Amino acid sequence: MNIFSVISLLGGLAMFLYGMEVMGDGLKNASGPALKKALGKATQNVVFGVITGMLVTAVIQSSTATIVLAVGLISAGILNLNQAVGIVMGANIGTTITAQIIRLMDIDSGGNIALEFLKPSTLAPLSMFIGILLIMFIKLPNSKTKGEIFMGFGILFFGIINMTAAVSPLSESQLFMDLMAKFSNQPILSILIGLVLTVIVQSSSAMVGILQALSATGAITFNLVYPMIMGINLGTCVVTLLICSIGSSKDAKRIGIVHILFNAIGTFLFMIAMTVIHSLGGFPNLWESVVNSGSIANFQTLFNLITAVVLVPFSGKLVDISMKIIKVTKMDEEDRADLEVPDEKLFEVPEMAISEAGKAIAHMGEVAIKNLKRSCKLMYVYDEDRVSVVHENEDNMDLFTDSMDNYLVNLSKFVETDTDSQRVSTMMQTSTNFERVGDHAMNIMEVAQNIKDSRLEFSDSAKEELEKVKDAVFEIASITLEAFEKMDSEIAKRVEPLEEVIDDMVLTLKNRHIERLKRGECTTSTGIAFVDALTNLERVADQCSNVALLILGEKYKEIVGNHHAYVRSLHQGVDNIYNEELIKRREQYLKDL
């Protein structure tokens, strides 16, 4: 095997990986929403989760992608850690579908035309031809997506054909034969090689594909294959754990740990079983027998299937171990948002349904405000755990808002009075405004990340100014939440004067900051971060104003649909209560600014 064969092998590997990606992307685009929906319903029991994880992975051709999808559903509150364990086990089984497809390399047509069509040397060009027709010439809905599936399938097979051709000279190499024989007698070394190479390639399917290509040399025995496949499975766990650990929640990291535990325990049990069987003389013709690509695919499938069957009853224990490794902190218990939409059975009593929806939205507002406070703290003390909590809660709020909108739309069909209809409308708009508070909290967190990554630091005067604006914004948020919880128009009247003062504060500080920039007292990058933080804080106050106006509209019908006109009239000084509150807030926040 010379340098040109190595180049051909690397090219074949590249085609194999690219073909997998193109085919997987096409399948995801064709059935993405259905896949997420299927994963989201994997909540009945662990066995159902295993089946779902297996089917989804068979479609998208990547166990890592399936597990990452499950992590997203955990963050969104659709799945919990216990329910995701089954998906992890199923993903390990589903990923073996690629190897089962590659086993078509073993087909000997014997002149049979039907079998000749199933050979990769025929399927690859035919699949690519169909793919290019769908992509370039057929203009039907989803034809491009379907074309990508066929194209990826063909490229994948061309890759495996290329790899097989590249390694075929090794069948005549005595050095290669001796090396394979040496590995066959060192299972631990074979496990380590499989693990390391999979971490490098970042695809268990690709590594098994390489093994299947090497099987064409006639030098690959069962003694070598079974420990190497176990190592490959462990390697893909390391890749998954790394992906799950980057900027993710603790539950995401626990899923990565469960994945490792599943494969590590399976490897340990299989190695013991294989060693005992071998030492007792069981299956004497198996160990030194030469394997083909079909045998490799079968062992990989059996290993993952048997491991899943053995460990399904102990799925809860795997979760417990992961919880001990990634411990629950006091902050996790206090800060994780638990947002739930009320039961639609309450529609039979609309007043109760409205009341419970109001409580749920108020809780979401509380979560949004807490996220805002966490994000502001991140600008000074950056903490990855706090970042994870902000992300997780934001995902939960997004999902909750969509669910609550559907709930309120359905509830509106049951309400009978204009007052209740108005209340439902108020709650729907309030939910959206609270969700936007959460969005601004995310924006401030991104400012904090920029400060950390760019090693920026606010001046003492900038910090002091931000603190004053934060105090005002936190107060307006607290007043707004209280007004909504009590549906109290008198409390709501206190919001607009403070919102105007916050606008004045932000304008004053932005102008003052421009002067600092002119004097060279801070950098442009720091200035952008400072202004971004101020802008998002100001917009939080705007959302609070929106909610207060909705509450006032419950009592003063003339305000409904005329928010801007009402606010203009306040600014013109026609309301004594507003004027008194405005003077008080200016004295509180603007006097010493």
Mean pLDDT over all residues of the chain?
84
Q: Minimal CA–CA distance to 145: which of 20, 21, 18, 25?
A: 25
Report d(CA 331, CA 410) in Å as an integer.
Answer: 36
Query: Does the CA dihedral 380-383-387-392 come out positive or negative?
Result: negative
pLDDT value, residue 73 = 67
Decide if pLDDT at 32 tops 60: no
Decide if pLDDT at 477 tops 90: yes
The per-residue pLDDT for range 227-281, each reduced to its tens digit, is 999 999 888 888 777 766 654 567 777 888 888 899 899 999 999 999 899 888 8
381: which DSSP letter? S
CA atoms within 13 A on the CB side of 436: 18
Residue at token pair 């994000």: 375
**Main-chain dihedrals φ then ψ at residue 142, nearest 5 degrees:** 70, 10
**Main-chain dihedrals φ then ψ at residue 290, nearest 5 degrees:** -80, 135
- Residue pair 102/292 in contact (Cβ under 8 Å)? The answer is no
Reduce the DSSP state of residue 61 to 3 states and report it.
coil
Report d(CA 70, CA 203) in Å as an integer.
Answer: 18
CA atoms within 13 A on the CB side of 98: 32
Residue at token pair 């500080």: 509
Model confidence band, residue 43 (pLDDT cutoffs 50, 70, 90):
low
Which residues are paired to 359 by β-bridges?
none
The number of helices, as runs of H, and strands, as runs of E, in the chain is: 25, 0
Residue at token pair 């442009």: 524
Poorest-confidence range of 25-29, 48-52, 388-392, 569-573? 25-29
Domains for the chain: give ranges and CATH numbers.
3-324 (no CATH), 334-453 (1.20.58.220), 459-593 (1.20.58.220)
The per-residue pLDDT for range 480-490, each reduced to its tens digit, is 999 999 999 99
Report d(CA 329, CA 385) in Å as an integer.
Answer: 10
Decide if pLDDT at 469 tops 90: yes
For range 498-525, the mean pLDDT:
88
The per-residue pLDDT for range 388-413, each reduced to its tens digit, is 788 888 888 988 999 899 999 999 99
Q: Minimal CA–CA distance to 257: which of 246, 268, 242?
A: 242
**DSSP code per residue over 69-138:** HHHHHHHTTSS-HHHHHHHHHHHHHHTTHHHHHHGGGG---TT-HHHHHHSHHHHHHHHHHHHHHHHHT-
The per-residue pLDDT for range 155-214, each reduced to its tens digit, is 888 887 888 788 777 777 777 777 777 777 888 898 998 898 888 877 788 888 888 888
Report d(CA 591, CA 582) in Å as an integer.
Answer: 13
Q: Which amino acid is at 318?
A: L
Q: Minimal CA–CA distance to 255: which of 168, 322, 158, 343?
A: 322
